Amino acid sequence: MTQKNHTKTLIVSSILAALIFVFTYLVRIPVTNTGAYMNIGDCIIYCAGMLVGAPWAAAASGIGSMFADILVGGGIYIPATLVIKALMGFVCAILMKNAKLPKFVLACILGGAIMVVGYGLFEWFAFGWSYAISTIVFNLIQWVVGVAGAAVLYYPVKRIKGTI
């Protein structure tokens, strides 16, 4: 990667981290008193995978989501969010290389599965099995909304990718 491409990718990744933060922080619905909330930041995480590739999408996804948790006061969720969202961005980016819409949606579905399973396991260990079961519906709703939102954004993001 040339210095120019590296700088461009760093700038785009930074913008994506900021967008993930904004969509996670500003559009959120609290679901419990432990700091858990639903958000639409996953839409941008999936799109980041398409725009910048695996390590960059992972960094933007984890950092943007983690800062939203910090400002919300997510406390115990902060390290889990960093890891889970970074893994989502990483896996989506790997699966989305030159993806057409069906493969893009499939990658988003798998990324969302990482979120549901990741938070389910984290909540099971942190709060117990009954708590994890009680929040799974909210994670499933966030998964579906995130995939649908990303699918709507596929063509605009594809155009953006062609210009950067």
Cβ atoms within 10 Å, residue 55: 14
pTM exceeds 0.85 for this model: yes
3-state secondary structure the chain: CCHHHHHHHHHHHHHHHHHHHHHHHCCEEECCCCCCEEECHHHHHHHHHHHHCHHHHHHHHHHHHHHHHHHHCCCCHHHHHHHHHHHHHHHHHHHCCCCCHHHHHHHHHHHHHHHHHHHHHHHHHHHCHHHHHHHHHHHHHHHHHHHHHHHHHHHHHHHHHHHC
Q: In what helix (H) or strand (E) does residue 39 lie, and over which residues does it extend? A: strand 37-39
In the predicted structure, residue 143 carries a pLDDT above the cut 90: yes
**pLDDT at residue 39 is higher than 70:** yes
Q: How confident is the model at residue 23 (pLDDT cuts 50, 70, 90)?
A: very high
* Domain architecture of the chain: domains with CATH: 3-163 (1.10.1760.20)
pLDDT of residue 2: 73
* Sign of the Cα pseudo-torsion (113, 12, 153, 162, in order): negative
pLDDT tens for 49-74 read 999 999 999 999 999 999 999 999 87
Residue 1: per-residue pLDDT:
59
Is residue 123 over pLDDT 90? yes
What's residue 73's pLDDT? 84
- Residue 144 pLDDT > 80, yes or no? yes
